Amino acid sequence: MGNKTTKRNISALGPTEFTGIQLKEPSTYAAGFTGIKVALQHVFKEMGIAKSLRTLSQMNQKDGFDCPGCAWPDPKEPSKLGEYCENGAKALAEEATNKRLDAAFFAKYSVEELSNWSDYQIGKGGRLTEPMVLKPNSVHYEPISWENAYAILAEELKALNTPDEAIFYTSGRSSNEAAFLYGLFIRAFGTNNMPDCSNMCHESSGVALNETLGIGKGSVKLEDFDSAEVVIVIGQNPGTNHPRMLSALQKCKENGGSIISINPLEEAGLIRFKNPQEINGIVGVGTSLTDIHLQVKINQDVALLKLILKKLAKLDLEDNKVFDHNFIETYTEGYASLLNDLERYKESQLLEICGVPEDLVDKTVAVLATKNKIIICWAMGLTQHKNGVDNIKECVNLLLLKGSLGKAGAGTCPVRGHSNVQGDRTVGIMHHVSKELNKNLEKVFGFKPPEKEGLDTVHGIKAMHEGKVKVFVALGGNFLSAASDTEYTAESLQNCSLTVQISTKLNRSHLVTGKTALILPTLGRSEIDKKEGAGRFVTVENSMGIVHRSKGMLVPASSNLRSEPEIVGGIADAYFGGSHSVDWKNMSTNYDLIRKKIQMVFKGFKNLESKSKGSGFYLPNNVRDLDFSKLPNGKAQFSLCNLAKHALSADEFLLMTIRSHDQFNTTIYGLNDRYRGIYNERRVVLMNEKDMQKYTFKKFDVVDLVSSYEGKERKAEKFMVIPYNIPQGNLAAYFPETNVLVPINHYADKSNTPISKSIVVKLAKRN
Ligand code: SF4
């Protein structure tokens, strides 16, 4: 601890070599027969045919296991043909691969060598099989016993001056049981430093919804899509990131609903859906989805929404029927101020700013004027901006004006990216302090939780960089690659005396480490979690607030893995040495006991054991009941939102980071982005053809992307320019390769979510 160690020669960004691009026309539909083919190719390659078909048949089924991909809900009656999408199958293939990473692998490859592999190559190595330690001055991980690993962590934690010199990160794949126990240990240890992946994705949604509607979650149920008159999909690409959502949009269309998509890119998944569970989807034309696509400029959603609200307000003046005045009077506050605020803007000004043709705006207004069963779905395209919170509040303004809350076919729908990210927050993973939670924990567990506000992701990274934090523990995830300002974040992690990763697979965060590093390999969601011969189930919560069970069925990748709750219990037991009011050992092996405690600490979980069976149960949601009693004057709040400001110089662009179709968060399944027509290459930047002419770029020209904030330049090297249908002045490129461009101190107001969707960059031509 603390003695001089040699710096390892680690690449935080990985290689920049090209992999041999092929370009085709972007697709005009999602899924279809090709979707099945690609899905099966991935699972057969990683798992073999028999194991693939057996396992897929249990994914998202009532007594099966929950897909380790996104958080889209399962229908009450899952399809017997298979209740998963192409990317769900890829997520399973990643976890249930037959490939293994054992001690021999780590003896052969040093962390320095591995850091020069691409994220794709690192991820394809296979499943971790035993605990590993990377000792100071060493570049090779070596095996370690579980007990010795826990002892190293306990010793480092005890050596800290204060508990706030440690950070405990959570990735959204952890079950409710693991997350609850982890949060309990962290508070018993004495800190609220609990950053989680939500900080980098839907934190802006949580802040906006809490302030306007009194709950940080969406209000719609899956069945609401059946009766919605209009579904607005804004800042989201469901075809790749939440593919089963396309079935819900198809139902909406078949029942006469309209779909409006608002996005700088016209994504295949919002143009047409070929449902692979239907003949029409296999051999036919499928279902046309979007009726109106509004190709807004990056981060100009507020300008567009304000324009729509202004035009609706004008129509309402004519017959007082466009807005739901009864709802407004009964349930809301701030209506008059909102109308006054809209008066401050000229339609022509808003039109120019958002870049959408007026005829399409008018068409949208005409649809919305007569409908009030409206659902608004969104994702990172709204949250990862400096005004991310306002982007969402402007959406809520529209729903409040239309009375589109608390009824069938209407409501808010922030679509979560990680399978249990919402559940983790619900059972206590948060850096904010809740007096009610602390009071309940003290009552149930007999210790006083800390009351000092904790660190979220960006502030945790800064604290590590400044040497204020010495120990970093991650429950799942790939913190380095998911975070902004990659090189700064790498320095922060390397500044720690110890970093610990509880993981199923190797990723770049295992290579960019503290002086000492531990890998604690855990079970996958699809694997059997047994204790004394009895199989155990865990619970998760999806995007719509349904809590249900997940029970693995595969033989674990190694007999030397431990479940996440067991690992947390092992760490706690080693730290407290068995002398604490909480019986960590018993808690970590007896999930029924964890669930009993969850019911005692949190509202809405009564009879969790029985109610989580089958398709599970909905947690309470005040918006569904139109109960805004938690808010000022007991009313839902209209908001006055600011326009996004981006003063770009002539040679500057706004870049948004995106996922390819062969990717889930920072996990790279493959090198293709089939829907966008890009094959076998990730180092590409999508550019408007008129901009290419204007700035004399040719297709395949190689450039560096350069951002400059407060005089500090950040560079993402070697990207090929690709002509693409994107608004002028805007660019798009994949993360994590471009997260290096996002400065650590540039994040959304109030939510601190990094500005990954609106980065100011220049292109530097390379010869
Ligand atoms: S939609 Fe999401 S949860 Fe459902 S199978 Fe696909 S990746 Fe998994």
Mean pLDDT along residues 69-86? 96
The sheet carrying 258-262 orders its strands as 292-294, 258-262, 230-234, 374-378, 411-414
Ligand 1 centroid distance, CA of 659 (Å): 15
233, 377: one domain = yes
Check whether 511 has a pLDDT greater than 80. yes
Mutate-to-test residue for ligand 1 from 42, 55, 56, 67, highest number of ligand atoms within 8 A of CB: 67
Mean pLDDT along residues 709-721? 98
% of the chain with per-residue pLDDT over 90: 97
Q: What pLDDT is recorded for position 533?
A: 81
Mean pLDDT along residues 426-449? 98
User: Is 194 part of a structural domain of the chain?
Assistant: no
Check whether 537 has a pLDDT greater than 80. yes
Q: For the chain, how long is the longest CA-to-CA vector?
A: 76
Helix (H, G, I), strand (E, B) or coil at 392: helix
User: Is 131 part of a structural domain of the chain?
Assistant: no
The rounded distance, in Å, linking the Cα atoms of 410 and 413 is: 9
Q: Which of 368, 385, 414 is the endpoint of a domain?
A: 414
Check whether 36 has a pLDDT greater than 80. yes
Check whether 92 has a pLDDT greater than 90. yes
Q: What pLDDT is recorded for position 4?
A: 52
207, 75: one domain = no
DSSP codes joined into one string, 542-597: -TTSEEEEE---BPPS-TT-B-HHHHHHHHHHHHHTT-SSS-HHHHHH-HHHHHHH
Q: What pLDDT is recorded for position 531?
A: 82
Task: For residue 571, name the pLDDT band (cuts at 50, 70, 90).
Answer: very high
255, 403: one domain = yes
User: Is 626 part of a structural domain of the chain?
Assistant: no
φ and ψ at 326, to 5 degrees? -65, -45
Q: Which of 356, 391, 414 is the endpoint of a domain?
A: 414
Closest CA to 36 of 270, 283, 282: 282
Mutate-to-test residue for ligand 1 from 244, 421, 667, highest number of ligand atoms within 8 A of CB: 244
- What's the domain count of the chain? 3
Mean pLDDT along residues 273-299? 97
pLDDT tens digits for range 631-655: 999 999 999 999 999 999 999 999 9
Query: Looking at the whole model, is its pTM more than 0.95?
Result: yes
CATH value at residue 662? 2.40.40.20
Exposure letters 363-387 (e unless 16+ CB within 10 A, then b): ebbebbbebbbbbbbbbbbbbbbbb
Closest CA to 265 of 734, 753, 751: 734
The rounded distance, in Å, linking the Cα atoms of 714 and 486 is: 10
Q: What pLDDT is recorded for position 481?
A: 98
User: Is 490 part of a structural domain of the chain?
Assistant: no
φ and ψ at 514, to 5 degrees? -75, 180
Q: Which of 346, 381, 414 is the endpoint of a domain?
A: 414
Check whether 3 has a pLDDT greater than 80. no
Query: Rounded to an integer, what is the distance from CA 367 to the centroid of its chain?
Result: 31
Q: What pLDDT is recorded for position 6?
A: 65
Q: For residue 736, is the peptide bond before it cis, meaning its omega torsion is within 30 degrees of 0?
A: yes
Ligand 1 centroid distance, CA of 71 (Å): 7
The rounded distance, in Å, linking the Cα atoms of 267 and 293 is: 10
Ligand 1 site residues (CB inside 6 A) read 67, 69-70, 72, 84-85, 87-88, 91, 242-244
Mean pLDDT along residues 541-549? 98
H-run or E-run covering 741: none
Instruction: Identify the DSSP state of 162.
Output: S
Ligand 1 centroid distance, CA of 559 (Å): 28
Task: For residue 1, name the pLDDT band (cuts at 50, 70, 90).
Answer: very low
Domain of residue 45, residue span = 31-94
pLDDT tens digits for range 649-666: 999 999 999 999 999 999
Check whether 593 has a pLDDT greater than 60. yes
DSSP codes joined into one string, 352-388: HHH---HHHHHHHHHHHHT---EEEEE-HHHHSSTTH
215, 336: one domain = yes
Ligand 1 centroid distance, CA of 459 (Å): 31
User: Is 270 part of a structural domain of the chain?
Assistant: yes
% of the chain with per-residue pLDDT over 70: 99
Q: Using CA positions, which residue lies closest to atom 2 of ligand 1? A: 70
Q: What pLDDT is recorded for position 348?
A: 98
Check whether 694 has a pLDDT greater than 50. yes
pLDDT tens digits for range 374-409: 999 999 999 999 999 999 999 999 999 999 999 999
Q: Using CA positions, which residue lies closest to atom 3 of ligand 1? A: 70
Check whether 2 has a pLDDT greater than 50. no
Mean pLDDT for the chain overall: 97
Question: How many CB atoms neighbour CB 692 within 10 A?
Answer: 17
Mutate-to-test residue for ligand 1 from 65, 66, 83, 84, highest number of ligand atoms within 8 A of CB: 84
Mutate-to-test residue for ligand 1 from 72, 241, 421, 544, highest number of ligand atoms within 8 A of CB: 72
344 burial via Cβ count (<10 Å: 0-12, 13-18, 19+): exposed
Check whether 7 has a pLDDT greater than 90. no
The rounded distance, in Å, linking the Cα atoms of 636 and 507 is: 43
Residue located via tokens 């939500």: 198
CATH value at residue 211? 3.40.228.10
User: Is 458 part of a structural domain of the chain?
Assistant: no
φ and ψ at 637, to 5 degrees? -105, 125
Q: What pLDDT is recorded for position 116?
A: 97
Distance (Å) of CA 583 to CA 168, 177, 632: 21, 15, 41
- Locate the ligand 1 atom nearest the alpha carbon of residue 244 and give its number: 1
User: Is 616 part of a structural domain of the chain?
Assistant: no
User: Is 725 part of a structural domain of the chain?
Assistant: yes
